[in-house]
A and B are shown apart, each in its own frame.
Chain A
Amino acid sequence: ILNVEQSPQSLHVQEGDSTNFTCSFPSSNFYALHWYRWETAKSPEALFVMTLNGDEKKKGRISATLNTKEGYSYLYIKGSQPEDSATYLCASRAGNKLTFGGGTRVLVKP
Chain B
Amino acid sequence: DTEVTQTPKHLVMGMTNKKSLKCEQHMGHRAMYWYKQKAKKPPELMFVYSYEKLSINESVPSRFSPECPNSSLLNLHLHALQPEDSALYLCASSPQGRGNGYTFGSGTRLTVV
Contact = CB atoms under 8 A, between A and B. Distances in A.
B101 interface: yes
Nearest to B42: A100
Interface stretch (B63-71, B73-81, B103-111): B103-111
Given A96-B50, A96-B56, A46 B42 contact: no
Contacts of A4: 42
B48 A49 contact: no
Given A44-B104, A103-B42, 4 more contacts: A31-B98, A45-B104, A89-B42, A96-B48
B99 A32 contact: yes
Residue from B45, B50, B105 whose CB has the most chain A CB atoms within 10 Å? B45
B31 interface: yes
A46 B103 contact: yes
Given A44-B90, A89-B42, A103-B42, A49 B101 contact: yes
B100 interface: yes
Interface of B: 4, 31, 33, 41-45, 48, 50, 55-56, 90, 98-107
Interface string A28-43: 0001101010000111
Interface of A: 4, 31-32, 34, 36, 41-46, 48-49, 51, 89, 93, 96-103
B104 A43 contact: yes
Nearest to A101: B42
Contact of A97 (B45, B104, B105, B106): B45
